[in-house]
Structure 1
């Protein structure tokens, strides 16, 4: 009888706790943006007859409750701690690697999807469109593998990972090795260095430098040695996107990353403008205010914008257009010395004709720079052909 009473008490406490948390999620004012997870959260869905009948309302409401669950970040951390205690080597799409590394779980479903196949075809068609216009020394598609591809020795034992190098080889075969370059080859020569963040999906500034080496050589540019740049560690408490998914920081066991930015005479003189808005003009390419927030990687150019226009005091007569994901942000500073102007476009927010934009801005050099997973899953790659 005591056992039954005790069990009933546990059930009652557990049920009451869930009910209180559920009501908290329903009744409190929804949070729009999660600084911890660096993403917008699901808002309360509107009830319509159509959504109720097709079942989408309940699905959306379930996502809303999950996103708006009180103390969501804390409970994510507790869940992670319990999973690791049970011996799990992954949670919420993240591997718990060796030496404090967290890795994204990028599997065949991503790289063998219809989107990935279509994007490879788009890249090949894009090369055909502009190969003659720019020539191979002024036009490159550069692909950077994720940390799970380059730092495989730090993955959990027997962790299944997709062969991203093989995916890049497919892109090269389809679009041609005169125009497509695998940035992973040089990165693999430096696996014992701090080339990827431990808690974030990006490469570090050092990893970006090695990517720059490969791109500069392929485009016939002089490669400046790293010693010619001045390094400044601007933060030592960076917890990135992978940590946001599992919140290991709440229970310990993770070492925060440090962020280094590089300076040179040309970088110091460069300024930028966001989205062709003169009210968003800055006299530096580094947005140091970002270091006060959660997403500290946005110290590079202030994060993602439709257009980031970088002006220098150089007299080269050349303008570089970089069509990119955020891997380009820590690499672009190294290219500043070679151009009068560098424009970075984010296809997620850029809705104009690219062909028209190229002509209007007198682009002399063209670089498409993506991380391999982003190239595989970005549904906006088709905009390259507009």
Structure 2
């Protein structure tokens, strides 16, 4: 019995170690930091990295007894603080880096689809022209998870999905037969089409035959725009980012000039406008690969803000009730969000007006994020440019075109989006 008592006395006489005090101090400082930061939170907005609206603080005017006692109101407050705490993006990036060190995959996933192209359906014939556009730019390829690491860049793979591609063509044809406007379709090859060395061609389907297949099925009321040929001609230039799945403004500009040629318009001269740069851009493909070569040599978002006194009205929610007035170009998008320089990212509807151009000339651009760098260029040819992202826009497109007296409609999509059934479904919903 006495031995037990002595043991207890010995345990009670032990003094806390210095490390215990250090742990308590660190935890206390963290708690104090987050408590103080609660008073400096933002309120909502859009996360370009996560492609979603951030939670806003619930309106006290909407508080009811039912919402309070059910916990819904407190849950909304909890979501608000989770989405808006100070330096949230930096903490998310730190968490992602820690997970990578632990061997946990990033939440950002890129998919390499089946690389079997149907020769019968896509007429897979490659040009044998002996010019620089047919020469390999890179030599070495390594697969990093589902991505392709090619010399000093990283690319998404591409796989031909025949049923979905046919559904895409059918959907665009339906718009051509329905809309009271000139309808154009622009298909953008992704970086891997021009970057992948010829000896590794089995790692991705060829995109040119698939583009030709889609264009052959569009019908007489849709005019295809051949962006492929001019991008291939300039493939050695900085037309795609090295660490991100998007193209640059320069790539978008080349496609824009091809559209103008097709539509009988005069393109603006990009060199007439001052060059601006956003440095330190590490995009989605860096997040998916964590390739050190990208971190050591980040991308630069180079852009020339075309136009004169342009105004952009950005609708931030699908009900089109929340809007802001901006320039078409963001001067606050940096780091992993730097592609948000163009149109402030993806929003349901953006309307850009150029008072120096006839306001009766109107165009609608139906796009995914590739269209963000493209659409502002059209302000030099149209007095009003309407930019719609089908992922978030819920109105009927035919009614929209008639209501705003739109003259031209442009569908612009990269080839991975064309092979996505989700994308096709999003486009189809605008017909309802």
Output the TM-score relative to the length of structure 1. Answer: 0.72
Q: 1:327 aligns with which of 370, 382, 386?
A: 370
Change (3 A) 1:127 1:77: farther
Are 1:140 and 2:181 an aligned pair? Answer: no
| Residues 361 and 162 of structure 1: CA distance in aligned 2, closer, same or farther (over 3 Å) | same
Query: Separation in 2 of the partners of 1:162 and 1:285?
Result: 35
2:188–2:415 Cα contact (<8 Å) kept: yes
Larger radius of gyration: 2
Identify the range of structure 1 (158-167 vs 336-345) with the bigger mean alpha-carbon deviation: 158-167
Aligned residues: 310
DSSP-derived class of the 2:395 partner: coil
Deviation at 1:196, TM superposition (A): 0.4
Distance in 1 of aligned mates of 2:351 and 2:48: 29
Q: 1:175 and 1:88, CA in 2 relative to 1: closer, same or farther beyond 3 A?
A: closer
Aligned pairs for 1:264-343 (under 5 A) are: 264-266=306-308, 268-275=309-316, 280-291=323-334, 294-316=336-358, 317-343=360-386
Task: Check the 8 A contact 2:313/2:325 in 1, yes or no.
Answer: yes
Give the CA deviation at 1:265: 4.0
State whether residues 245 and 283 of structure 2, in contact with CA within 8 Å, keep that contact through their aligned partners in structure 1: yes
Q: Which residue of 2 aligns with 1:366?
A: 409
| Structure 1 position 243 matched with structure 2 position 286 | yes
| Alpha carbons of structure 1 residues 337 and 92: separation in structure 2 relative to 1, 3 Å | same
Name the CA shift for 1:78/1:285 in 2 (closer, same or farther; >3 Å): same
Residue number in structure 2 paired with 1:65: none
Residues 326/39 of structure 1: CA separation in 2 closer, same or farther (3 Å cut)? closer
Distance in 2 of aligned mates of 1:71 and 1:116: 37
What is the SS of the residue equivalent to 1:282? Answer: strand
Q: 1:315 to 1:75 in 2, by over 3 A?
A: closer
Residue deviations 1:84-125 (CA, integer Å, cap 9, x gap)? xxx981223210012x111001223xx23x433322211222
Contact 1:307 1:343 in 2 (8 A): yes
- Deviation by residue 1:310-352 (Cα, 9 ceiling, x = unmatched): 1221341211111111111111221111111111111111111
What corresponds to 1:227 in structure 2? 271
Taking only aligned residues, the RMSD between alpha carbons, in angstroms, comes to 3.3
Q: Which secondary structure does the structure 2 equivalent of 1:350 belong to?
A: coil
Using the TM superposition, name which of 373-382 and 275-284 deviates more: 275-284
In the TM superposition, what are the counterparts of 1:11-30 in structure 2 within 5 Å? none
Partner Cα distance (1:174, 1:37) in 2: 35
Corresponding residue number in structure 2 for 1:104: 156
CA contact (8 A) 2:354 2:383 kept: yes
Cα shift at 1:274: 2.0
| Structure 1 position 78, deviation (Å) | 7.2
Q: Is the 8 A contact 1:319 1:364 kept in 2?
A: yes
Q: Give the structure 1 partner of residue 427 of structure 2.
A: 381
Contact 1:122/1:384, CA 8 A, preserved across alignment: no
CA offsets 1:174-209 (integer angstroms, 9 cap, x no match): 014861223111001111111100001111111111
Conserved 8 A contact 2:242-2:294: no
**How far apart are residue 139 of structure 1 and its match?**
2.4
Structure 1 unmatched runs, 5+: 1-34, 41-67, 82-86
The residue that corresponds to 1:73 in the other structure is 97
CA-to-partner distance for each residue in 1:11-33, whole Å, 9 max, x for gaps?
xxxxxxxxxxxxxxxxxxxxxxx
Matches within 5 A, 1:338-353: 338-353=381-396
Question: Is residue 130 of structure 2 the alignment partner of residue 90 of structure 1?
Answer: no
Q: Of 158, 175, 192, which residue of structure 2 is paired with 1:126?
A: 175
Structure 1 contact 120–174 (Cα < 8 Å) conserved? yes
Q: Which residue of 2 aligns with 1:256?
A: 298
Within 1, Cα distance between the matches of 2:304 and 2:417? 25
The two structures have a TM-score, normalised by structure 2, of 0.64
- 1:253 Cα shift? 6.2
- The answer to whether the 8 A contact 1:96-1:156 is kept is no
8 Å contact kept, 1:236–1:258: yes
Aligned mates of 1:36, 1:244 — CA distance in 2? 13
Give the number of the structure with larger relative contact order, counting CA–CA contacts within 8 Å between residues 6 or more apart. Answer: 1
* Alignment map for 1:39-78 (pairs within 5 Å): 71-76=95-100
SS of match in other structure, 1:273: strand
Contact kept in structure 2, 1:354 and 1:383, CA below 8 Å: no
Distance 1:236 1:214 in 2: 29
Contact 2:252 / 2:373 at 8 angstroms: preserved in 1? yes
Structure 1 pair 78–180 and aligned structure 2 pair: CA distance change class (3 A): farther
Decide which structure has greater helix share: 1
Q: In 2, distance between residues paired with 1:39 and 1:287?
A: 16
Shift of 1:145: 0.6
Match in the other structure for 2:76: none
